Chains A and B, each alone.
Chain A
């Protein structure tokens, strides 16, 4: 096949960031994006807290919207006890949301497309909620794996299933986010590379035909925007659900 070669996966490769300093301390371009996400969240809060008006302006309304959205999610899912975990859930949600969103921009690294990152987040959520479960209920938390209202002879079958489904939580949680973000970015790159291929292969006709993959990428941009928000929401609400299980045991 003639024309430029396209590596749709190259965009995910990690390189040292911050110039020479990053090389010395293994600070990658992915960490740069994380730092940018944290800085953007802090800046949004700074902007939202500037006026502290009774009738909020745009920035303040945005921050209040985020605040009340996550707070309601915590309270509705976990219950009143959920307010203890609200700052944590908010941090995770905002970090993933802004990470997903800035990953959509050219030259920005989508750190949520790395399984190491999402698995670390998911493992943290898993270990934290399990810890909350044992902290709240002590060893009684083990009864979480015994479904109530089930005949005794079924328990040897059901308890392992419950345990396996519990242990698979971090896997599904991390793979969902990782796969969604990776697939979106790969598709984008593929369609964009396709435009180069068309132009290289068919000259002027190919250039005109490139309108089709371009249109697809425009549509994909809208889809990816949706996915970015949705996956952050899914991660946060599943975090809340796991915390609910830990606090209420059912």
Chain B
């Protein structure tokens, strides 16, 4: 019920309201209707002067100034970046060079050490060989002298044994060949 009334009122009301009076906008018998335009012209000219002489140029200056500052900052940042990039490149180059130099140094030191070690080892070997050879000749000499020394003793011992066994001393010409043969057989064996 109320909904219906609402609908009816909604339908009637605007037309009723509009019918009640003529539009003040169209009431040109009122001098204010046209005179407001004259005052509007005055007010708008004033507003135009204020905005075009003061407001807008000032705002424009602020915005321009900001653009300048931003451009300047960007340029500075770009320059700083280029500087940093070159510094990094220089650093990298220096690092590479230093690494190469260090590696060369290490290689050189290693080669030197190796060469020295080889030379030392060779010298030591030569020394050892010489000593070995000396010792061997010494041993050979000792052996020869010992062998030489053993022959008269053996001859004496053989003579003494034979004297004890046979009661006679064999001749030197019999004893010496047998003794030599026996000694040779022992030392060779």
Contact = CB atoms under 8 A, between A and B. Distances in A.
- Is B one of A's binding partners? yes
Interface of A: 1, 5-10, 12-16, 26-28, 30-31, 34-35, 38, 41-42, 45, 48-49, 52, 54, 60, 63-64, 67-68, 86-88, 90-92, 94-95, 111, 113-117, 120-121, 178, 182, 186-187, 189-190, 193-194, 197-198, 202, 205, 209, 212
Contacts of A189: 17
Contacts of A87: 48, 51-52, 56
Pick the 3 closest A-B CB pairs, nearest first: A87-B52, A14-B32, A13-B24
Contacts of B43: 31, 34-35, 38
Contacts of A115: 25-26
Interface stretch (B59-67, B96-104, B111-119): B59-67
B13 A194 contact: yes
B20 interface: yes
Contacts of A49: 55, 58-59, 62
Contact of B40 (A41, A120, A178, A187): A120
Contact of A116 (B2, B37, B44, B62): B37
Contacts of B63: 64, 67-68
A49 B59 CA distance: 7
Contacts of B52: 87-88, 91
Contacts of B44: 34, 38, 91-92, 95
Interface residues of B, number: 51
Nearest to A35: B43
Task: Report which residue of A48, A91, A113, A186 has the largest number of chain B beta carbons within 10 angstroms of its beta carbon.
Answer: A91
Nearest to A212: B6
Contacts of B56: 67, 86-87, 90
B139 to A, nearest CB: 103
Nearest to B35: A26
Contacts of A1: 12, 16
A45 B47 contact: no
Contacts of B92: none
A45 B23 contact: no
